[in-house]
Amino acid sequence: MLADNTGALKGLKVVELGQLIAGPFCGQLLGDMGADVVKIEPPGAGDPMRQWGNGEHKVWWEVIGRNKRSVTANLRERDGQELARKLLADADIMIENFKPGTMEKWGLDPARLHALNPGLIIVRISGYGQTGPYAARAGFGGVAESMGGWRAIVGDPDQPPSRMGVSIGDTLTATYACMGALAALRARETTGQGQVIDAALYESVLQVMESLVAEYDVMGIVRQRSGSILPGIAPSNVYRCADGEYMIGANGDAIFARLTEAMGQPELASDPRYATHIARGENQTELDQLIERWTLTLTIDQLEALMVEYSIPAGRIFRAPDMLADPQYQAREAIVSLPNPDHGTVRMQACFPKLSETPSTIRRIAPRFPGEHNAEVYGERLGLDAAALADLAARGLI
């Protein structure tokens, strides 16, 4: 169900010019936290995300378009660009994820926008950033995952690099872009000035690569694909059971000792092959095989009961049906059900993280069509009446 606005960013004005995933996901995050997000879509088909997703019904838009109002403006035309500038004149944050140079071509570059609105925080998301020899190249999330180091280490070593089942390069960058915007808001409280957040997809992926670069720099180690394990971190893997698969993470010394007790083989905890973190890493394959011989004798329910009893970090491999049925998901309302004119209701992930005093909420379902809120937003923000809007529509500007 829809909720009231109790978010920390209530009253903040955001204008989202982005399309597809990275820019719109940043807008979704800010909207969930209470910001008033006005999304500018091209007249006609609107954001291509409206057509993305699996299956007959394209419901990805229902998630990424929530908490937004949609207006249309043809940014390829001078008068359409002027509409955007007027919306940005009193905005707090602008989000765009076009190819570098596009905003400059449209007269929406940072210098011009800051002359109009010095406090505007400009979030720019692109494949390679706004500078450097690759800046003008087209860049999508998968390419950034490759350049940032992700793809090279994901998958089995005897197979080509794999991808994660979601657009992690895009959503990582959107999250970092959101974090940058929030930091810039804090800085603006002191300086009164806005600034530019330059978020590159490949750099956002690089940020989560842990010690990958440092390991090479210090020891010459080039990390390789390792399937379902992290080399040297054991036991931490997915193990087969009599009726499925189960994840166990017991690589700490004390936790491993508890696992051996659960297995009925406490002597393994003092076995020189497994007694220390380093030893377990050196004998990782052998240890995983030993554990799996045991888990294969148990059902998932039986194994989970033991993991809970012995306080071992472990869990089922969840898919969507499991999430909807799980009591932890239900107790924390991690999945919400929103009204939807096409489907009755649509269930989706809630807003995270949870804030105790200013909780994030979902207040609007995704706009049903591009420009759904033209009259509302252009009337409220720019004072345009029905005749003016009809004229803009007749000229193909909205």
What are 179-207's pLDDT values in tens digits?
Answer: 999 999 999 999 999 999 999 999 999 99
For residues 63 and 193, state if they share a domain: yes
For residues 174 and 57, state if they share a domain: yes
Per-residue confidence (pLDDT) for residue 35, from 0 to 100: 98
Task: Confirm whether 387 is domain-assigned.
Answer: yes
pLDDT digits (tens, 9 = 90+) for 79-105: 999 999 999 999 999 999 999 999 999
Last residue of one domain, picked from the residues 264, 298, 321: 321
For residues 61 and 125, state if they share a domain: yes
For residues 29 and 113, state if they share a domain: yes
pLDDT band at 263 (very low <50, low <70, confident <90, very high): very high
Residue range of the domain that includes 292: 236-321
Alpha helices, DSSP H, located in the chain: 22-32, 60-64, 78-88, 102-105, 110-116, 141-147, 168-191, 201-207, 212-219, 253-262, 277-282, 284-295, 300-309, 320-325, 327-331, 374-382, 386-394
Q: pLDDT exceeding 90 applies to what percent of the chain?
A: 98
For residues 93 and 187, state if they share a domain: yes
Task: Confirm whether 226 is domain-assigned.
Answer: no
Task: Confirm whether 227 is domain-assigned.
Answer: no
pLDDT band at 8 (very low <50, low <70, confident <90, very high): very high
Residue of 354, 362, 312, 318 whose CA lies nearest to 336 = 362
Residue 268 phi, psi (nearest 5)? -65, -30
For residues 195 and 254, state if they share a domain: no
Per-residue confidence (pLDDT) for residue 19, from 0 to 100: 95
**Considering its fold, how many domains does the chain have in total?**
2
For residues 142 and 82, state if they share a domain: yes
Last residue of one domain, picked from the residues 321, 346, 363: 321
For residues 186 and 80, state if they share a domain: yes
The mean per-residue pLDDT over the stretch 24-47 comes to 97
For residues 147 and 57, state if they share a domain: yes
Task: Confirm whether 380 is domain-assigned.
Answer: yes
* Rounded distance between C-alpha atoms, residue 229 and residue 284, angstroms: 9
Strands 314-316 and 244-249 come out as antiparallel
pLDDT digits (tens, 9 = 90+) for 307-357: 999 999 999 999 999 999 999 999 999 999 999 999 999 999 999 999 999
Q: Choose the catalytic residue: 32, 36, 92, 170.
A: 170
The mean per-residue pLDDT over the stretch 4-27 comes to 97
For residues 57 and 184, state if they share a domain: yes
Strands 13-16 and 121-126 come out as unpaired
Asked if residue 300 lies in contact with residue 316, where contact means CB atoms within 8 angstroms, the answer is: yes
Identify the CATH number of the domain in which residue 317 sits.
3.30.1540.10
For residues 166 and 308, state if they share a domain: no
* Rounded distance between C-alpha atoms, residue 220 and residue 185, angstroms: 41
Task: Confirm whether 348 is domain-assigned.
Answer: no
For residues 317 and 367, state if they share a domain: no
Task: Confirm whether 231 is domain-assigned.
Answer: no
170 is catalytic: yes
Task: Confirm whether 79 is domain-assigned.
Answer: yes
Mean pLDDT, the chain, whole residue set: 97
Task: Confirm whether 97 is domain-assigned.
Answer: yes
Look at phi and psi of residue 20 and say left if phi exceeds 0, alpha if psi is from -120 to 50, else beta: left
Per-residue confidence (pLDDT) for residue 1, from 0 to 100: 82
* Rounded distance between C-alpha atoms, residue 3 and residue 31, angstroms: 13
Last residue of one domain, picked from the residues 300, 321, 342: 321
Per-residue confidence (pLDDT) for residue 30, from 0 to 100: 98
